[in-house]
Amino acid sequence: MAKKIKRRERDTIIQALRAGVVPKVGLQYIQVGRFNEIKELVKDIERIGEGGSAIRFIIGDYGSGKTFFLNLVRLIAIEKGLVVMGADLAPDRRLHASAGQARGLYAEMARNLSTRTKPEGGALSSIVERFVTKANQEAEEKGLQTGQVIRTRLEHFEEMTGGFEFAEVVRKYWEAYETDDDDLKSACMRWLRGEFATKTDARKALGVRTIVDDKNVYDHLKLMSAFVCAAGYNGLMVSLDEMVNLYKLTSSQARNSNYEQILRILNDVLQGTASHIGFLMGGTPDFLLNTRRGLYSYEALQTRLAENQFAKNGLIDLSGPVITLANLTPEDMRMLLENIRAVMQEPETMIPDEALDSFMHHCSNRIGEAYFKTPRNTVTAFVNLMSILEQNPGTNWADLIEAIEVAPDGGDDLSDIVDEDEDTGGKGGGAALDPEDEDDLASFKL
């Protein structure tokens, strides 16, 4: 393994693990466990490629490997010919809003658009050019005008919500491509990435009357899935992490508006009305199960996402929308440390297996079972140990292990979350909110 890995991938893996984040490349070198879950997601990817759709909620505690799992599935999807859009939700990025936060989420996803040739993002322009190139080739083969072929390929877009303007922007990109008009090409890419803040700016630049806004993000995701298929890819995978940021919204109205968007997506997938598109949403158990603020607070979602009542006493069911990540076993953790060792060290200089056993024993004494159930801090400590040994030849690993500090990974602190009806100020400690976060009526007491 160590001989085959590229130096760039090796450095990326080490830097990411040391910082406690998931690398975007080279995951195959350190992946352990999750066999059944990956098998199910591969089936989803194949279904998307055949014209179907899928949605999965990846649930796990902080540090349990949700982001790693999402990125691994993302890489598998890319290898199987899908295009991947992804982003982390944040206070200024969510599925539904009225002050630009949803458009901000779409713009971030569009910037992170990934393909096999551009796995780290920034692939939108190459997808558009691939579409234009394929149209040129078809026109030459059939003796037609390229513009005529493009119009034919985009005809069905006009039947979709927002499709007329989408098709018009793609046609304008082709015109700019033919005339080497870089300004027009740039304007088209800005529109496709959702970067126009007002319809006036878009009309001046492109002559279109609509833009990607807070109300039509899901519609544009469906348009993008249709477009990547027209460009020769198998479909679109949308990966959304840190969904707990919806749980943290102080306003029940804002939370419910976002949950309604999730319900709309879920219904489209379950009813078979969406095609060539899949969704991965990563969140904590609180985001799913909490009946006051989580998805289970929205009755329609609770009904659709309820656990199979027969999946108990060791029985599993991975066919539903929710996949709760099983904890890594101590054996999985041992294999993970072996893989990291193989990435970081050459065979002739590897620390012995005894060192791995000693390290795991030390972590177990410090934080108990948490060292393999939520392994992020454990992995970071191990990478730090290996880095010291690499940079200080002759240092004895046994002298370092007892000095290693490992703490349980508690994740973000949710204890400061206050519902609007519990906060005397009514608005989550006075933070500035967009109009959607304002309830229609303010409660008061005499």
DSSP-assigned beta bridge partners for residue 238: 85, 279
Do 232 and 115 share a structural domain? yes
Do 244 and 98 share a structural domain? yes
Please name the residues in contact with 92: beta carbons below 8 A apart, sequence gap of 6 or more: 100, 101, 104
Q: Is position 139 within any domain? A: yes
Which residues of the chain fall below pLDDT 70?
Answer: 1-3, 308, 310-316, 369-374, 406-446
Q: Give the 3-state secondary structure of residue 342.
A: helix
Return the pLDDT at 325.
86
d(CA 218, CA 102): 10
DSSP-assigned beta bridge partners for residue 279: 55, 238
Do 181 and 61 share a structural domain? no
Please name the residues in contact with 439: beta carbons below 8 A apart, sequence gap of 6 or more: 251, 252, 253, 420
Q: Is position 441 within any domain? A: no
Q: Is position 23 within any domain? A: yes
Do 129 and 195 share a structural domain? yes
Return the pLDDT at 315.
65
Do 320 and 233 share a structural domain? yes
Would you state the structure tokens that stand for residue 55, as one six-digit string? 């949605």
Return the pLDDT at 439.
43
d(CA 33, CA 65): 11
Domain containing 193 equals 125-206
Do 73 and 45 share a structural domain? yes
Nearest CA to 134 among 232, 50, 204? 232
Return the pLDDT at 304.
93
Q: Is position 432 within any domain? A: no
Q: Is position 223 within any domain? A: no
Return the pLDDT at 440.
43
Q: Is position 151 within any domain? A: yes
Return the pLDDT at 175.
92
Q: Is position 334 within any domain? A: yes
d(CA 205, CA 227): 22
**Number of neighbours of residue 42 by Cβ within 10 angstroms:** 14
Return the pLDDT at 58.
95
Q: Which long-range contacts (CB under 8 A, 24 or more apart) does 397-404 make?
A: 397/351, 397/355, 397/358, 398/355, 398/358, 401/355, 401/358, 401/359, 401/362, 402/362, 404/359, 404/362
Do 314 and 235 share a structural domain? yes
Do 236 and 115 share a structural domain? yes
Return the pLDDT at 412.
55
Return the pLDDT at 9.
86
Model pLDDT for residues 394-422, shown as the tens digit of each residue? 888 888 887 777 666 655 545 456 555 44
Q: How many domains does the chain have?
A: 3
Return the pLDDT at 431.
39
Contact 172, 188 (CB under 8 A): yes
